[in-house]
Structure 1
Amino acid sequence: MRPLFTIGYEGKTLDEFLGELQAAGVDLLIDVRAVAASRRPGFSKTALSGALRERGIDYLHLRPLGTPAAGRQAARAGRTAEMRAIYADQLETPEAEIAMVQALGAAEERRAALLCYEKDAPVCHRAMLAERMLDRASFEVVNL
């Protein structure tokens, strides 16, 4: 069964993060942040995609699979159930459906990892996304 990795960069240096991806054999990072910007050096879209490219890892940003602002606010406040409800609604949008098809196609062909900030996958939207992907394809979800 093909692995589907998930990874959060919270608390990691860029080198640690990239090393984890390389050790797992990831060759495509699917960024599922609504806003691919970060206060953490190296984790904004342009810098991150460049650092990944240097390590032989491709980058794909699928903004519609990110958590809307209200969901991010709920997550920061520790209201996980509220975040999950908001994100479930997001996944029902036409834009998210198109992005989901892209993510599935990419993950079925490559060793892919879903990226977000949160270090704890079970409370992050990427876990919900991985669950939805499992409904449509056969993967083994591996949280890095």
Structure 2
Amino acid sequence: MAGPTIWTIGYEQATVAGVMAALSRAGVEVLADVRALPLSRRPGFSKTALAGAAKEAGIEYRHFKELGTPADGRAAARRGDHTALSAIYAAQLELPEAMAAGAVLAGLACERKVALLCYERAAAECHRTLLREAVLPGFEAVDLLPDDPA
């Protein structure tokens, strides 16, 4: 018997429409925004606008701030220092508030089709893979790519 599934998606070089199309095609029911700061220079990807777009697509939006990467982890990611990112993020996940948020996410993902959202297009370069491995170890991962802009 197959275990539960978790979907992931990054919005780097994507449009909101492209992200929503990929999520809808996969049957995702809940978009779990796992950014510490749900802000973006990319139009439509800040929290309020993204939540509105998700709602229009019939997808529930949930922000899990506590599961985001702290500032020093984001700096390590920008430098391409995945070793430092991994260590910093592992410490983040040991915080009581992150453990509680992780438990909520795991429970939600056992009941509904959930996709983890962050910026990086390649899941292997993003903390969402570290999150999945630490908090959802028995889950099969499906890393979605947004539809290309028209």
User: Into which bin does the TM-score normalised by the smaller protein fall?
Assistant: over 0.9
Residue 24 (str. 1) matches residue 23 (str. 2): no
Aligned match of 1:118: 120
Q: Secondary structure at the residue paired with 1:10?
A: coil
Aligned match of 1:47: 49
- 5+ residue gaps, structure 1: none
Letter of the 2:45 partner, please give it.
F
| 1:134, distance to aligned residue in structure 2 (A) | 3.1
Root-mean-square deviation over aligned CA pairs: 0.9
Aligned match of 1:91: 93
- TM-score for both structures, normalised by structure 1: 0.96
* 2:63 pairs with one of 61, 64, 70: 61
Letter of the 1:141 partner, please give it.
A
In the aligned structure 2, how far is the partner of 1:84 from the partner of 1:6? Answer: 18
In the aligned structure 2, how far is the partner of 1:107 from the partner of 1:2? Answer: 8
| 1:114, distance to aligned residue in structure 2 (A) | 0.5
In the aligned structure 1, how far is the partner of 2:89 from the partner of 2:140? Answer: 22
- 5+ residue gaps, structure 2: 145-150
Q: Deviations over 1:64-113 (max 9, x none)?
A: 10000000011001111111110010000001001001100111111000
In the aligned structure 2, how far is the partner of 1:85 from the partner of 1:132? Answer: 12
Q: Secondary structure at the residue paired with 2:76?
A: helix
Contact kept in structure 1, 2:106 and 2:136, CA below 8 Å: no
Aligned match of 2:139: 139
In the aligned structure 2, how far is the partner of 1:108 from the partner of 1:74? Answer: 31
What percent of counterpart residues are identical?
A: 54
Letter of the 2:43 partner, please give it.
P
